[in-house]
Amino acid sequence: MSEALEFALTLYPSPILRRTATPVTDFDAGLERTVAAMLELMFTSKGVGLAAPQVGLDRRILVYNPEGDPEQPEANRILINPVIVSRDGDKSLYEEGCLSFPGIYAEIERPDRCTVEAYDIKGNRFEQEFSGFESRVVQHEYDHLEGILLVDRMSPADKLKNRAALAELVERYKSTRS
């Protein structure tokens, strides 16, 4: 009865990526289909995380799998309407990529730990503390729900280093719209 969804990646500089995403209100079969399709696209794109605006959806949904491995579905994580209630720990630099910025990588500074309040796919509220790589992924994907992108957090040196690749994305976007 229900048709499987198929999403495509929304790339920089699509304005969809700049919106503050809207909370999920219906924890229903539609949400389950959306999450399943997001995970599928994340894995086929070789990503470890994906936020709904990256598939053109104005919803506060993020998925990730710290193993980046579709053979380990038990490592799939789904956060609905997440709120980062605190960030702490030392700040560290780590090279991040983003499926909305193919081929672009930059050293991004973030606090090592964060605590998140969120809902699971059934609508149950929970709180969880994250550290290390998982904390970084969560903070990166959460940025997407706030319309904040990799390019906003890059150092001036990384922006310069990636200048040609960023300009190419802008050109590609313009050409698909003309």
Closest distance of CB 17 from Co ion, Å: 9
Tell me which stretch binds Co ion (CB under 5 A): 9-17, 25-33, 87-95, 97-105. 97-105
Whole-number Å distance between alpha carbons of 38 and 51: 8
41-64 burial, b at 16+ Cβ within 10 Å, e below that, comes to bbbeeebbbbbbbbbebebbbbbb
Instruction: Please answer whether residues 37 and 60 qualify as being in contact, where contact means their C-beta atoms are separated by less than 8 angstroms.
Output: no
Choice among 3, 40, 95, 141 that is catalytic: 141
Whole-number Å distance between alpha carbons of 98 and 140: 9
> Per the structure block, which two tokens stand in for 147?
């319309």
Which C-beta is closer to Co ion: that of 81 or that of 100?
A: 100
Which C-beta is closer to Co ion: that of 39 or that of 98?
A: 98
Q: Which residue is nearest to Co ion (CB)?
A: 98
Q: Does 61 bind Co ion (CB under 5 A)?
A: no
Closest distance of CB 150 from Co ion, Å: 6
**Is 95 marked active-site?**
no
Q: Is the Cα torsion angle 21, 152, 162, 112 positive or negative in sign?
A: negative
Which C-beta is closer to Co ion: that of 123 or that of 172?
A: 172
Q: Does 17 bind Co ion (CB under 5 A)?
A: no
Q: Does 41 bind Co ion (CB under 5 A)?
A: no
Burial of 150 (0-12, 13-18, 19+ CB in 10 A): buried
Q: Does 154 bind Co ion (CB under 5 A)?
A: no
HSE-up of residue 19 (Cα within 13 Å, Cβ side): 17
Q: Does 151 bind Co ion (CB under 5 A)?
A: no
Tell me which stretch binds Co ion (CB under 5 A): 92-100, 102-110, 122-130, 159-167. 92-100
Q: Does 98 bind Co ion (CB under 5 A)?
A: yes
Q: Does 137 bind Co ion (CB under 5 A)?
A: no
Helix, coil or strand: residue 74 = helix
Contact residues for Co ion, defined by CB under 5 A: 98
